[in-house]
Structure 1
Amino acid sequence: MTFPRNLLYSRLSSLNKYSRNVNTSAVRLQNVQQVTAKKRICIVGAGPAGFYAAQYLLKQLSDCTVDIVEKLPVPFGLVRFGVAPDHPEVKNVINTFTKTAENPRLRFFGNVSLGQDVSLQELRQRYHAVLLTYGADQDRELQLQNEEQKHVISARKFVAWYNGLPGAEQLQPDLSGRDVTIVGQGNVAMDVARMLLSPIDTLKATDTTEYALEALARSQVKRVHLVGRRGPLQAAFTIKELREMLKLPNVTTNWRADDFAGIAEQVEQLQRPRRRLTELMLKSLSEQSKRTATAVDGKQFLPIFLRAPKAISAKEIEFAVTQLQENAAVATDTTECLPADLILRSIGYKSSCADPAINFDPQRGHVRHDQGRVLKEGEGSSVEPGLYVAGWLGTGPTGVILTTMNGAFAVAKTICDDITANAFDTASTKPGFEVANQRIVTWDGWLRIDQHECEAGKAKGKLREKIVDVEQMLRIAGV
């Protein structure tokens, strides 16, 4: 973060003089400050969708308070645990979220899990409106035999491993083999490939966890295959991600010329973003024929198109060759086996149902809703008054942070419109969240954790060293 550290540190040093009860005291103080507020809104989830929605609501509703409830002791969701460590500029959005959190009409309740520490019914009784934004925390699977084998893991878990999500340190991916095959061609897949192939000295300056740096330093991975069902014109990674990969030192990118048959003739018909990405792939393809043989100690990035996973075995994965029919990948009888000491599945996320009262679609992995208004269970298009959903929990895992921002703003506007239209009761008094005997991390508690991580990182020449143990987080937060 780039906000003034001296101000933050002075604030923290004064806070640390108080006892472990300081968080509870802070909550009580905020309650006193908010007694004049008429409308209480609770947001479940402290990721981008939650913070953007809070920003909009606080700006548009001068007589509202917003409480953010988060199951982890720390905020920011996928910005903290999903953005690649070598993309610190993307994490600058944390500065915006911090400004929102410092609004006196917002309170942060970390270490509170929906469905365990508090139910949706309780929240709805305590608030005029509840907005669910707790994201997508599960993986879509290949549905193949042997997928449960130890050498098959999800890219989501691998990202969580090097980003320090509590519990992910137990993953221990086996990087002793030469070949890693990634199934999927989105930006997450590209991030994982780049992390596997990047020079360790480059990663040491980032907030990659120390245990991940040690494992990557010992890694014997030399070749990373990035495999997709469809063709180059449907690749889901962006031009920025591809440029970074092509610039990696001591890494050679090798395309398959057959995958690009007829592609050059279609370039002029493409929209600008897709055209630029395709032109870069074609440029890289033309340059590889002019290169000398890959150095013996060099690493290789191997993008492969038109292949659908078919079978998994101990050291390889079998793919069906596909053909495009109306933009869909259709498997043929031809197959190909690729070496795979480690298989990383990167075919998307899905959400989980945190509370049985949520109208959740298990097949699609998201909450059933109409433009952000959560639908009533089994009642067609009827909506639950005062209950909303935003972010990946409502849309599925699509888009980038900007997409999430626009979606969160739209749902927050819907909440404002519904309040104006008296679509649900806002006249009655609501108590908001009350601290009982729970170990709650307030925003000041998070600042203590933040300071500790930054100081630990500074000692190692990096931005921060993330704490991965929840109990340690709670101790540092003072609860």
Structure 2
Amino acid sequence: MTPPMLKLAVIGSGPSAFYAAARVLSSVPSTLKDAVRVHMYDSLWAPHGLVRYGVAPDHPEVKNCTHKFHEIASDPRFRFFGNVDVVPPSEQTWPKAWTSSASNLPLKKPLVPIIAEKNRIKHPNPPHAVSVNLSSIFKQYSHLLIASGAPIPTLHPALPPTPGRIIPALDMVHWYTGHPNSTNSVALSPASAPGLIPSPLPTHVTIVGVGNVALDVARILLSDPDRLVPYGLPSSVMRTLRASAVTHVSIVGRRGPREASFTAKELRELMNLEGVAFAGVDADVLDAALDEGGTGRKLERQKKRILDILKKGSTRKVGDEGVRRTWSLEFWRAPAGVAEADGTPVSTGKGPMCLTLSHTTLSSDGRVKSTGETSALETSLIVTALGHQCVPETTPFCDPQLGHIRTVGGSFTHSEVQLQTKFGQQAADATAVEKPSTGGETSTTSPLASAAAATTVEPAPQATPTYGQVLHPRTHMPMPNVYAAGWAARGAKGVLGTTMLDAHAVGEAIVETWLAAEAAPGLTGGEAKEPQPTLAEVYQLPDGDDGREVTLDSVPKEVLDGLKRGPQRAKEGVVTYEEWLELEKMEAGEESKRLTWEQVGGFLALNDE
């Protein structure tokens, strides 16, 4: 490549991807702004990730960030390629150079893609997506940013997914947001699971997990459908909700109210739902949580607010006139098994199930343990809201032991002082994770301060690792010019604000490293004298067979073919951001709808005429 260029490929198009892209484009010196390109890829034809397909429909204020995304996409140095599935190489074709992260240090273990059996989950990407091997990306770009989120639900070992009976919350969220995979399941095999969401919805639903997603699902199921009309849920979803038979939702958590991860805002919304009453929490449970002296743990202000809301209860009480539905929080309960009412294994039929709940408490070291007691809960639908993760099958360089990509600053290396010096205290705070203290209290601390205790990983002596840089899942060595941000790097935790701060820090690190790279010593005074190598050159991959020159604006051949005008584009076409904006207008209207690929493909073919 000549002149030196920062040509960044971004996998994923959610908030972390856009925020990182924005910081890259804005951080480059004005004398070099024309030497930068950012190309964003997503396996879905529509951008914006969780903002479009994860945020609860009745939280439209969270989606205001899309205006910023539109602004980023209007930069002539930016391009979006939707309906492009970037896939990791198979074990047989894994480039040898990747086993050592382009260093001469010996491997700790021979490299093979690591896929734990418990995480062997099928993830059906749209069959019409254009498939591009990661090696093709390496041959076209100088830098890579993986910001594809955490697309796989964490499952409960005692609750095997069963269509219409036991389903991950992610499938429920995909259903009511109109995700293209909503007729499939990301956790079931075979991929296509007809009847995943039962219709009509049964009288009793149990949600396992006490995070914001659990409360989102409960709120949608408990709401009067008329309340949801302004928020644009797909018309098919609205029909199911209007026919719903739900009268009660139980939310089950294996810890107590102090440890619940939902926010006061989400809890208050649920308490104030029209026509819905909260059944209350056992007074002994609340008193124990409020007793700071008895627990030896100081009560944080946010937790105190949550406990006050729980103690006050809902606006409407059980038995009040006009109350149509109720909900409850079952703390200190962990699923131990489930069966049909007659004791047989759960099938895809209908009718009540018997959910066995183990009663739990905290051990002296803050871990959850069983008290030996159990109780039974009769329910007809179980939704597991236990978080999300990455797996190597879908996310390049994912570490299955972590459930996300191992990165510098994200979980394991770099000193807190260095991070604060480079990117400010906000960035250090954004990478903080929750861990139990010796007294069992959930406290927030930065993993950067205790890197030495967390891992024995040492950076390659010939390279200074930078924030967000990917550490190889086998060697734990920094991978030059390869970065990760957001949930893909830090795990599925944090809110949009922490994602933004993390992505900004990663974007700044990419530019800073590029400007200081030994491969581009001429990047001073506005004069570019030396070429910046592609990732394929850095990792010594074999040359491509198409013989095309790599330029600032070139793309992999598969993508170029997907952009060609003609009828084939209706089958496997690449969608640009400009085309997406036109498609978004088609989705708007009095009756909310999500376009199918057939409609999108038809638009592309018609647009090419």
Which TM-score band applies after superposition, normalised by the shorter structure?
Answer: 0.7 to 0.9
How many Å separate the matches in 2 of 1:377 and 1:223? 44
Alignment partner, residue 244 of structure 1: 269
2:587 pairs with one of 450, 453, 464: 453
2:593 pairs with one of 452, 465, 470: 465
* Structural mapping, 1:191-340, within 5 Å: 191-257=216-282, 258-266=284-292, 269-284=298-313, 291=317, 293-295=319-321, 298-314=324-340, 315-325=353-363, 326-340=365-379
Shift of 1:173: 2.8
How many Å separate the matches in 1 of 2:519 and 2:135? 16
Partner SS for 2:17: helix
Shift of 1:135: 1.0
Cα 1:150–1:204 shift into 2, 3 Å:
same
Cα 1:263–1:423 shift into 2, 3 Å:
farther
User: What per-residue deviation string (whole Å, max 9, x for no partner) do you get for residues 187-228 of structure 1?
Assistant: 000000000000110112212111111001100010000110
How many Å separate the matches in 2 of 1:376 and 1:323? 38
User: What per-residue deviation string (whole Å, max 9, x for no partner) do you get for residues 323-356 of structure 1?
Assistant: 1224332112101111210000000111133568
How many Å separate the matches in 1 of 2:473 and 2:169? 33
Alignment partner, residue 139 of structure 1: 153
Cα 1:165–1:37 shift into 2, 3 Å:
farther
Q: Any conservation in 2 of the 1:47–1:78 contact (CA below 8 Å)?
A: yes
How many Å separate the matches in 2 of 1:443 and 1:344? 35
Identity of aligned residues (%): 33
> Which moved further from structure 2: 413-422 or 39-48?
413-422
How many Å separate the matches in 2 of 1:254 and 1:389? 43
Cα 1:146–1:450 shift into 2, 3 Å:
closer
Alignment partner, residue 425 of structure 2: none
Alignment partner, residue 575 of structure 2: 441
How many Å separate the matches in 2 of 1:319 and 1:423? 59
How many Å separate the matches in 2 of 1:156 and 1:421? 42
How many Å separate the matches in 1 of 2:496 and 2:318? 40
Shift of 1:145: 5.7
Q: Any conservation in 2 of the 1:43–1:131 contact (CA below 8 Å)?
A: yes
How many Å separate the matches in 2 of 1:37 and 1:417? 14
Q: Any conservation in 2 of the 1:448–1:476 contact (CA below 8 Å)?
A: no
- 1:411 is aligned with what amino acid? V
Q: Any conservation in 1 of the 2:73–2:80 contact (CA below 8 Å)?
A: yes
Residues 1:422 and 2:550 are matched in the alignment:
no
Residues 1:60 and 2:89 are matched in the alignment:
no
Cα 1:172–1:308 shift into 2, 3 Å:
closer
Cα 1:423–1:47 shift into 2, 3 Å:
farther
Shift of 1:395: 1.1
- 1:250 is aligned with what amino acid? G
Alignment partner, residue 70 of structure 1: 42
How many Å separate the matches in 2 of 1:146 and 1:72? 27
> Which moved further from structure 2: 137-146 or 159-168?
137-146
* Structural mapping, 1:53-132, within 5 Å: 53-61=20-28, 62=33, 63-115=35-87, 117-132=131-146
Q: Any conservation in 2 of the 1:264–1:282 contact (CA below 8 Å)?
A: no
- 1:437 is aligned with what amino acid? D
How many Å separate the matches in 2 of 1:329 and 1:178? 31
How many Å separate the matches in 2 of 1:424 and 1:155? 47
> Which moved further from structure 2: 88-97 or 426-435?
426-435
- Name the count of aligned residue pairs: 433
User: Which 5+ residue runs of structure 1 have no aligned equivalent?
Assistant: 1-34
Q: Any conservation in 2 of the 1:441–1:474 contact (CA below 8 Å)?
A: no
Residues 1:402 and 2:514 are matched in the alignment:
no
Alignment partner, residue 189 of structure 1: 214
Q: Any conservation in 1 of the 2:275–2:322 contact (CA below 8 Å)?
A: no
Q: Which structure has greater helix proportion?
A: 1
Partner SS for 2:277: strand
Shift of 1:179: 0.6
> Which moved further from structure 2: 273-282 or 383-392?
273-282
User: What per-residue deviation string (whole Å, max 9, x for no partner) do you get for residues 117-163 of structure 1?
Assistant: 21222112211101011111111111116544640001110000010
How many Å separate the matches in 1 of 2:393 and 2:482? 15
How many Å separate the matches in 1 of 2:519 and 2:255? 46
How many Å separate the matches in 2 of 1:424 and 1:271? 49
Cα 1:276–1:475 shift into 2, 3 Å:
same
User: What per-residue deviation string (whole Å, max 9, x for no partner) do you get for residues 339-384 of structure 1?
Assistant: 210000000111133568x32222332123223211235323x222
Cα 1:448–1:76 shift into 2, 3 Å:
same
How many Å separate the matches in 2 of 1:280 and 1:198? 19
Alignment partner, residue 190 of structure 2: none
Residues 1:46 and 2:13 are matched in the alignment:
yes
Residues 1:370 and 2:408 are matched in the alignment:
yes
Shift of 1:471: 2.7
How many Å separate the matches in 2 of 1:280 and 1:228? 17
Shift of 1:428: 4.5
> Which moved further from structure 2: 193-202 or 36-45?
36-45
> Which moved further from structure 2: 262-271 or 163-172?
262-271
The normalised TM-score by structure 2 is: 0.67
1:348 pairs with one of 373, 376, 387: 387
Alignment partner, residue 462 of structure 2: none
Shift of 1:421: 2.4
User: What per-residue deviation string (whole Å, max 9, x for no partner) do you get for residues 305-328 of structure 1?
Assistant: 010110112312111000122433
Shift of 1:174: 4.2
Partner SS for 1:252: strand
Shift of 1:167: 2.5
Cα 1:42–1:153 shift into 2, 3 Å:
same
Cα 1:354–1:333 shift into 2, 3 Å:
closer
Partner SS for 1:221: coil
How many Å separate the matches in 2 of 1:417 and 1:441? 31
Alignment partner, residue 474 of structure 1: 601
- 2:144 is aligned with what amino acid? V
Shift of 1:412: 1.3
- 1:322 is aligned with what amino acid? T
How many Å separate the matches in 2 of 1:223 and 1:281? 18
Q: Any conservation in 1 of the 2:4–2:532 contact (CA below 8 Å)?
A: no
Alignment partner, residue 452 of structure 2: none
Cα 1:374–1:224 shift into 2, 3 Å:
same
1:391 pairs with one of 481, 486, 489: 486
How many Å separate the matches in 2 of 1:355 and 1:283? 45
Cα 1:424–1:402 shift into 2, 3 Å:
farther
How many Å separate the matches in 1 of 2:394 and 2:243? 42
Cα 1:292–1:143 shift into 2, 3 Å:
closer
Q: Any conservation in 2 of the 1:81–1:164 contact (CA below 8 Å)?
A: yes
Residues 1:160 and 2:177 are matched in the alignment:
no
